[in-house]
Amino acid sequence: MSIIEEVPTGPPAADDGRGRAVPHVRLAIVGTGFAGLGLAIRLKEQGIEDFVLIERADDVGGTWQANTYPGCQCDVPSHLYSFSFAPNPDWTRTYSRQPEIWHYLRDVATSHGLYPHIHFGHELSAAAWDDERQRWNVETSRGAWTAQLLIDATGPLSYPRIPRIRGMGSFKGKMFHSAEWDHGHDLTGERVAVIGTGASAIQFVPRIADRVGQMHVFQRTAPWILPHSDRPTTRLERLLYRKLPFLQKVVRGGVYWSRESFLLGFISKPNIMGGAEKIAAAHMRRQVKDPELRRKLEPKFRLGCKRVLISNEWYPALTRPDVELVTEGISAIRGNTIILADGSKREVDTIIFGTGFHVTDPPSAQLVRGRDGGTLADRMQAGIQAYLGATVEGLPNYFKLIGPNTGLGHNSMVYMIESQLNYVIDALRVMDEQGYAEFEVRPDAMAAYNAQIQSKLPGTVWMSGCASWYLDADGKNTTIWPDYTWRFRHRTRRFDTRAYTMRPPVEVGAPAPVVA
């Protein structure tokens, strides 16, 4: 159920080219996580009110609205994981948990007057570029718009990935992904299988271990786990941040630069990671006394090649007598029985997948059609790529926020998001000041940019030999930004028209003039 009534947004309805009268807006923004809300705030700051936010859920928050599994927590310090233009002096922990981050985003949406622009329960079903009218036709599960610009702000952690296991359809118990946690299902006393040992699993497994009857944790690859420095913030800290806002800015800056310094070990001197590996190994030795279990938990890759995980609770949970770590591969599921590759079996009542998301192959890419009628998925067949992680050849007036090669292994994604927001806002300024109605990134500019990105990846820790969700099916890293984040901020400070084909408005039926 929507928090607000649907409010017509933008100018009167216009013909969508198929004889239907639908509302027309300047920008249609898909998603209300950090990226979508942040852009909406920046638009309002510029006096732009002609936009809609399209959201499939019943509230804002994106991944922080969807992921409600027990123990869900951010692995970036709280002061850095928030908008620079909307600081929160009242974080109760140094690393915020899901409910508090979700509350922050709802509060930001309320305080900046965003709710009247949001249409909840609208899942994107199609978006097609109308070349003659220089606009997007946007279809959702509950309505339609035309828009001059389409902004995909859905983020890379939007579509849960569930592995295909032979016989899954025969399972008689409960089965769900951690991002779609079934809070109505009682795990008390149940035999539970957890498939996956990534960032979500290391958080929820310790929180449910004392409730279940027996837990089998299926591990394909042992992750590196560093000790967690999370703690409650003090009342004095929160008071100082409220009374002296500049103090929180100083702390935020210190956290940013300290995490930025981690990058040296990721991009140019992977051997530096050896020190962190020793800390992680000592952390495991302190918490896991059984040598056989330690052997199963020892990572076989360089720290940082996969996402670096932090927890003080994961290892103790695995040492419980009612928790089993299973490293044998799953062969099939038959009824309530999980059959392993060695022929052994585990009887379970519930299966919980902690298997991540469709990052390099988002299903939404099949819904977006560009100038030639081809989908974004078609353009991704040789690997997902974009210019500055934002614009794609063949898709005019389109921005993908948190797109290809903008992900981080060391710092806050909010910083990267704000950098892209600067780029979008400046693009609107250029269009307004110079009278353009349309932009499209030049193929040569996009190709050169991505070649540059890929040239920086060999020799980095992310390409040191492990299989991670940073890599696509061909082993190409299309996820990580392989440089300092301040350099990305520098590159996105201005909309560089030389990388684009710019077009002024044209009359319907007239050929579109091109301004290179």
Buried b (16+ CB within 10 A) or exposed e, 433-453: eeebbbbbbbeebbeebbeeb
Q: What is the pLDDT of residue 103?
A: 98
Q: What are 44's two structure tokens?
A: 């309002």
Q: What are 300's two structure tokens?
A: 């076989």
**Domains 14-60+114-159+358-503 and 168-223+267-353 alike in fold:** yes
For 103, residues 6+ apart whose C-beta sits below 8 A from its C-beta are none
Give the whole-angstrom CA distance, residue 414 versus residue 228: 21
pTM, rounded to two decimals: 0.93
Q: What is the pLDDT of residue 473?
A: 83
DSSP state of 304: T
Checking if the pLDDT of 317 tops 50, the result is yes
- CATH of span 168-223+267-353: 3.50.50.60
Q: Which candidate, 51, 30, 203, places its Cα nearest to that of 126?
A: 30
For 104-151, write each residue's pLDDT tens digit. Answer: 999 999 999 999 999 999 999 999 999 999 999 999 999 999 999 999
**Cα Rg of the chain (Å, integer):** 24
Q: What are 14's two structure tokens?
A: 């216009």
Q: What is the pLDDT of residue 172?
A: 93
Taking the CA atoms of residue 75, residue 76, residue 78 and residue 80 in that order, the dihedral angle to the nearest 10 degrees is -170
Q: Which residue(s) pair with 151 in the sheet?
A: 29, 399
Question: What is the domain partition of the chain in residue ranges?
Answer: 14-60+114-159+358-503, 168-223+267-353
Q: What angle do CA 180, 183, 186 make, to 5 degrees?
A: 125
Q: CATH fold of 14-60+114-159+358-503, please? A: FAD/NAD(P)-binding domain (3.50.50)
Checking if the pLDDT of 209 tops 60, the result is yes
Q: What's the pLDDT band for 368 if we cut at 50, 70, 90?
A: very high
Between 3 and 476, the higher pLDDT residue: 476
Q: Which candidate, 73, 75, 121, places its Cα nearest to that of 98?
A: 73
Tell how strand 345-347 and strand 350-353 pair up: unpaired
Percent pLDDT > 90 in the chain is 84
For 84-97, write each residue's pLDDT tens digit. Answer: 999 999 999 999 99
